[in-house]
Structure 1
Amino acid sequence: MMSEYNSGKISFYADYFSLVFENDDFIVINKQADINFHSEDGEFGVVVAAEKALGCKLYSVHRLDKMTSGIILLAKSPQIAAQLTLLFTEHSIQKYYLAISDKKPKKKQGLVKGGMEKSRRGMWKLTKQKDNLAITQFFSRSLGDGLRVFLIKPQTGKTHQIRVALKSVGSPVCGDPLYAEKLNHYDRGYLHAYQIDFTLNGDDYSFYCEPQKGHLFNCEGYVKTINEVGNFALLNWPKV
């Protein structure tokens, strides 16, 4: 159980994250949108914020883009970090994301598969090559008012993978500063790491967390859809 001291410290860093779960091996946090993962330009990122709040060294085993909110898993020791990294490498950890777009997709569900290649201005693009292969499964549902929510299961973990995948089907993420239209007035980039499932040392874990910021994540259509979907792992995902 967390001490009152740590609870207070976590509240102090609420602009960076909220704590979802903690045990002797790892923590699970809900990262806020528009927060750097690692420290940059003299400002510390969410990992350092979590270390300061909990008063312990933490080890990253995966990451989220600055604009993306949601679940991050952080190990408490190099040994657990190595185990979790292996699970990610073996694709034994399942991650599920949410995104909202204001553009109708070329297809409502399916698979986006292609090579990831650096483009201009820090962007990435999909190619027909198999180098740096990215595989993304998705469903989409209408929220009304021209909006669609995407339920996403990435099979790989490439930089900007989901953002590029949705752009490729004609539905860039609302508020995405790189892949959406420049002239938009959204209050955040609408991509959120919603759920993570894995087994570690014989114990099964499943965590999910709702986005804490973003007016589109509070609209009636979104809330209704997420309540209807339930556990993302139980969906009949498109075949890879």
Structure 2
Amino acid sequence: MEATWQYTGQEPVKIKKFLQSLGMGHRLFNEIKKGQGQFLVDHRVVRPTTQILPNQPLTIQVAPETADPTVAVSHEPLKVAYEDDNWLVVDKPAGVSSIPGPTTSNGTILNRVKGYLEEQGSEDLRPHLITRLDRFTSGLLLVAKHHVASSMISQQVQQHRMLKEYRAVVSGRFADDHGVIDQPIARREGQVARVIAPDGQRAVTEYWVEDQGVDWARLRLQLHTGRTHQIRVHMASAGHPLIGDHLYGGDMTRADHQLLHASKISFLDPFSQKQLTFTSSLPEEFNGF
């Protein structure tokens, strides 16, 4: 894997500082420094302590990642919304898991991406899911094709600078068109469902009412944190469980799974330094609302 950036600063800067400003983590830098790759300035291999001058190009070269033998290969359908040398944006249908687990060892998005990369003849065969969705949540997932991309975007994920928007249909009506739920979410041993609890991690969900009927509302939601089941827990705690969400008391007469769709994702591409934004239209299950 090879990537090049042009340094546009006015003063000389060390390679490490420049790469950190682009998002690279300490671990990846140290791996390259210790021989698992190399740095090039003006197409010449240089030491990690080298300073880059204004307008000089910096290139990193890293060996491809071999396949993880514990992850099976699947050639089941994969809807790719966007692809370049570093990223895949996948539009996941409801009912497909993001990653293998105790009950699903194959056919997940991770398995399918691995199969897709094999079919494309990719040298890197260890994809990294940057975002994940519950099995019955549909919509957009971001996948890094290699560990350099995964490292470069990790700061945006950790600092919640990646925009993630969802659409959902919930029970009940809202008096206000906009609101913010700021309630900590905790895990309880032996339970799948999360709970609102003082000892939980901070979780913030913002929502806008797009439409509502007699006893339902369609919402646009934005995650400001990324907790497991966050939207489902927050809406249920507010008295508005998602339609079809059996785990959190949703109405199962109108849908057989939670009506939750990851409709938009936007992030700063650390390679091109451009904002990339992708949207996904609502699945058919939302048509009745």
Whether these two folds match at TM > 0.5 is: yes
Greater shift in the superposed pair: 202-211 or 104-113: 104-113
From 115, 120, 124, the equivalent of 1:52 is 115
Name the structure 2 match of 1:211: 282
TM-score by length of 1: 0.77
Structure 1 vs Structure 2 CA RMSD:
2.1
Within 2, Cα distance between the matches of 1:185 and 1:19? 29
Looking at both structures, which has the greater relative contact order when contacts are Cα pairs under 8 Å and sequence separation is at least 6? 1
Within 1, Cα distance between the matches of 2:109 and 2:245? 20
Match runs of 1:66-215 below 5 Å = 66-105=135-174, 108-119=177-188, 121-129=191-199, 131-181=200-250, 183-201=252-270, 202-214=273-285
Change (3 A) 1:182 1:121: farther
The count of aligned residue pairs is 204
SS in 2 for 1:133: coil
Change (3 A) 1:145 1:106: closer
Within 2, Cα distance between the matches of 1:176 and 1:38? 20
TM-score by length of 2: 0.65
Greater shift in the superposed pair: 80-89 or 69-78: 80-89
Describe the superposition over 1:150-196 as per-residue Cα deviations: whole angstroms up to 9, x where unpaired. Answer: 11011000011110111122111111120124753414320011101
